[in-house]
């Protein structure tokens, strides 16, 4: 099995729902977003317009972040997801420099030190118990394709919340999957495939 995703930029409305759904699901610290929205201006006045592209981890089959990790903390699991084992990550950040998609993030601060609701707002006891241990200081983290959700038979949060139905998630090894059919029908292509990383996120449209 190889999990993958398609993002159809012709259907994406730049609402930011995927960004916030990822934030809510994974409860990353205040300034860290595993899913981001990139913007670019095109043209000149009076015909200028804004283009956008949601970007996250591509879960590459030939992931440079995995290859360069000195401890083996970065690895590819049985479902093709690129993950990080926080117990053996030493926070050297070599993988961050190796990733051409800027999909990895280093935890400089604890969720306890960076509350969401202003500098003076403390986390609730529930938040301290549920959130802080998930994001220890000094390690690198990234998108996991919402592994806990998927293992429960649910879609990743970004896919579930997409109002434009711009995202399709599934098994790239199954030719009959909705994902594989959509990739073929829409002639979707990976981002920066020329780099040889074999990304497993496909795009329709682009900058």
Quick check: 176 pLDDT over 90?
yes
Q: Which of 29-38, 102-111, 188-197 has the highest mean pLDDT?
A: 188-197
Residue 193 belongs to domain spanning: 3-204
DSSP 131-184: TGGGS-TT-EE---S-HHHHHTTPPPHHHHH-TT--EEEEETT-TTSHHHHHHH
Asked if 201 and 3 touch (Cβ cutoff 8 Å), the reply is: no
pLDDT digits (tens, 9 = 90+) for 121-173: 555 665 555 565 678 889 999 999 999 999 999 999 999 999 999 999 999 99
Domain count, the chain: 1
Number of C-beta neighbours around residue 164 at 10 A: 15
Quick check: 112 pLDDT over 70?
no
DSSP 71-105: SS-EEE-TTS-EEE-TTT-----HHHHH-TT---E
Give the pairing type, strands 3-8 and 36-42: unpaired
pLDDT digits (tens, 9 = 90+) for 22-74: 988 888 887 889 999 999 999 998 899 999 999 999 999 999 999 999 999 99
Specify the CATH number for the domain of residue 60. Answer: 3.30.70.20
* Lowest mean pLDDT across 17-21, 104-108, 132-136: 132-136
Measured distance CA(87)–CA(22) in Å, rounded: 23
For 8-16, what is the mean pLDDT? 95
Looking at residue 133, its pLDDT comes to 62
């Amino acid at each position: 099995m190889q999990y993958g995703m398609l993002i159809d930029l012709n259907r994406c409305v730049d609402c930011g729902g995927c960004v916030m759904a990822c934030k809510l699901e994974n409860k990353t610290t205040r300034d860290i977003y595993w899913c981001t929205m990139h913007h670019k201006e095109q043209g000149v006045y009076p015909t200028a317009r804004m283009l956008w592209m949601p970007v996250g981890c591509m879960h590459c089959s030939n992931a440079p972040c995995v290859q360069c990790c000195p401890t083996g903390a970065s690895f590819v699991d049985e479902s093709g997801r690129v993950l990080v084992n926080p117990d053996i990550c030493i926070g050297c950040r070599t993988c961050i420099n190796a990733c051409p998609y800027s999909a990895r993030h280093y935890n400089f601060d604890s969720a306890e030190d960076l509350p969401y609701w202003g500098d003076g707002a403390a986390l609730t006891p529930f938040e301290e118990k549920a959130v802080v241990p998930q994001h220890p200081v000094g390690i690198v983290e990234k998108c996991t394709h919402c592994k806990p959700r998927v293992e429960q038979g649910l879609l990743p949060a970004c896919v579930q919340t997409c109002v434009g139905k711009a995202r399709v998630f599934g098994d790239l090894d199954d030719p009959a999957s909705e994902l594989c059919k959509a990739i073929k029908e829409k002639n979707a292509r990976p981002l920066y495939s020329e780099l040889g990383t074999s990304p497993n996120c496909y795009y329709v449209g682009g900058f």
